[in-house]
Amino acid sequence: MKHAIIERLTSAGHLDRIFIDGEWVRAEGQARAAVTDPSSEDVVAEIALGSRQDVAAAVAAARAAFAGWSVSSIQSRTALLDRVHQLILERAELFAEAISLEMGAAISVARSAQVPAGAAHIRVACDVMSRYPFVSQRDGITIAREAIGVCGLITPWNWPLYQITAKVGPALAAGCTVVLKPSELSPFSALLFAQVMQDAGAPPGVFNLVNGDGPEVGAALAEHPDVDMISITGSTRAGVLVAQAAAVTVKRVAQELGGKSPNVILPDADFARAVPAGVAAAFRNVGQSCSAPTRMIVPRERLAEVEQIARDAVARLVVGDPRSVQTTHGPVANRAQFNRVQDMIGVGIDEGARLVCGGPGRPAGLERGFYVRPTIFSDVHPKMRIAQEEIFGPVLSIIAYDSVDEAVAIANDTIYGLGAHVQGRDLDAARAVAARIRAGQVHINYPAWNAHAPFGGYKHSGNGREYGLEGLEEYLETKAILEHGEE
């Protein structure tokens, strides 16, 4: 089957090239990576993978461009990012089609969430930059916040555009230059984004893209002495490896890593609303979100009621062809993830958790593609692997509690601390529970997503923050200037 997005990228020559110093160039290495449509398991394209030599060329271009870009005016940076934002909106359908093809997102989700949220990060970066006090006075000291330098940005496959803009936007707003390594598993939206940067008029070297895998390109970025900062979103294992490689050159490392987020439903919550919304949040993007609330922690006396509401919510989901507007949930993104989810469903059964719905295998009628049955377990003990390990698929664990103190203890009984949810009619009580949960972002009663809200984790979920004001500050150094006037 031919795909319009592949034909577009092929005709532009982008599948065979990387973007360095304002130009599309051939990669020095000969390696290629197959890109698979997760809905059919068919290989739809091959992309060129960069090498360490390509990383070196991209870093050199970014270093040369840094001298000018770091002292450019706020107005010029705003003008560039405004053009980037507008081009993303103009090409929204192209991005949606690319994301649906490369990682299986339902086209309705790509259109309504993946692309708009990606565009929002660029807009917010502009908003924050325009108001930010890059130079301020405090106690007779001049405080200057300056761009940290050349930044290596490593992004994952699950929210491909969204994660790119969450890093590129604030990095460029801060005055940094960047080398982006997107996931080789979902490269199409990254190639489209590089074209946006070129068409928006990014000065040569300010933005560079090198496709590649972690052991080659990711490691080369982390180790490179002329890279001043690495920002990575990915698994905790990948984050540790990058931090170890970066330690030799003492560069800053910002990590947004794994999660096993709790959703504490308090006894006074509106269960008819809280439970279906909790299922939807856990299964958003087919469960492939690091902050997905995949542990639903509920009062024991309401357990049977919760199970029935959750079962009914899953029955309303439509799993199928991601390009159909009726589909709510497409396949998981790749074979490795499909195998991981299937293995963990088996682990849950073997551990003695009780299936509420779903289970192993593909949904009925879907014999090909990386489709997973939306699965809910109950009678889950907090120490079970399915309650402790990040599965990254549509698998929800329901855990019962006997007191609010126990609910908080269960919520915090994890190596992760990225996100959390709390549901309850009494807002003061809900806020008190939120204050006790060790996580970087807590949602009370399912508020709307806000691109200004800082996002990042405690514990093994990483360090540093993205989005909004704090996201900009990750890319800044602090300089104190003290003066003594001449007598």
What is the pLDDT at residue 28?
87
- The tokens 């500050």 sit on which residue? 473
129: left (phi over 0), alpha (psi -120 to 50) or beta: alpha
Asked about 290 being catalytic, the answer comes back as yes
pLDDT tops 90 at residue 249: yes
In CATH terms, are 4-257+462-479 and 262-450 the same topology?
Answer: no
pLDDT at residue 226, as a whole number: 98
Residue with tokens 């390696």: 31
Mean pLDDT (the chain) is: 97
Average pLDDT for 328-348: 98
Nearest-Å Rg of the Cα atoms of the chain is 23
pLDDT, tens digit, for every residue of 436-462? 999 999 999 999 999 999 999 999 999
Token pair listed for 81: 């990012």
Which residue(s) pair with 126 in the sheet? Answer: none
Provide the pLDDT for residue 29.
Answer: 79
pLDDT at 2 over 80: no
Determine the Cα–Cα distance for residues 262 and 294; give it in Å rounded to an integer.
Answer: 6
* Active-site annotation holder among 184, 216, 223, 256: 256
The CA-to-CA distance between both ends of the chain, in Å, stands at 80
| DSSP sequence for 422-445 | EE-S-HHHHHHHHHHS--SEEEES
Q: What is the pLDDT of residue 30?
A: 85
State the number of CA atoms in the 13 A half-sphere of 334 facing the CB: 14
Q: How far apart are the C-alpha atoms of 164 and 128, rounded to whole Å?
A: 18
**Taking 70 as the threshold, does the pLDDT of residue 487 lie above it?**
no
- Give one DSSP letter per residue of 4-28, joined into a string: HHHHHHHHHTGGGEEEETTEEEE-S
Residue 129: closest CA among 472, 477, 479? 472
Beta bridge partner(s), residue 458: 417
For residues 210 and 213, what is the distance between their CA atoms, to the nearest angstrom? 10
Question: Tokens 């604030």 map to which residue?
Answer: 170
At 15, list the tokens. 């599948």
- The angle at the Cα of 213, spanning 211 to 215, to the nearest 5 degrees, equals 135
CATH T-level fold of 4-257+462-479: Aldehyde Dehydrogenase; Chain A, domain 1 (3.40.605)
**pLDDT-based confidence at residue 196 (cuts at 50, 70, 90):** very high
Q: How confident is the model at residue 1 (pLDDT cuts 50, 70, 90)?
A: low
Q: Is the pLDDT of residue 240 over 90?
A: yes
Task: Give the model confidence (pLDDT) of 27-66 as tens digits.
Answer: 987 899 999 999 999 999 999 999 999 999 999 999 999 9
Choose, from 126, 151, 176, 290, the residue flagged as catalytic: 290
Record the tokens describing residue 273, joined without a space: 């609303």
Domain 262-450: CATH superfamily, name plus number? Aldehyde Dehydrogenase; Chain A, domain 2 (3.40.309.10)
The arithmetic mean of pLDDT across residues 303-328, rounded, is 98
Q: How many residues does the chain have?
A: 487
The owner of tokens 């916040």 is 145
Say whether 32 sits in a helix, a strand or coil. strand
H-type alpha helices, 133-218: 160-174, 188-199
| In contact, 418 and 464? CB cutoff 8 Å | no
Beta bridge partners of 230: 152, 253
pLDDT above 80: residue 243: yes
Mean pLDDT (whole number) for 358-381: 98
Alpha carbon of residue 418 to chain centroid: 12
Stretch (H or E) spanning 395: strand 395-401
For the chain, percent of residues with pLDDT exceeding 70: 99
Question: Domain ranges in the chain?
Answer: 4-257+462-479, 262-450
What is the Cα–Cα distance from 37 to 165, expressed in whole angstroms? 23
- Provide the 10 A C-beta neighbour count for residue 137: 10
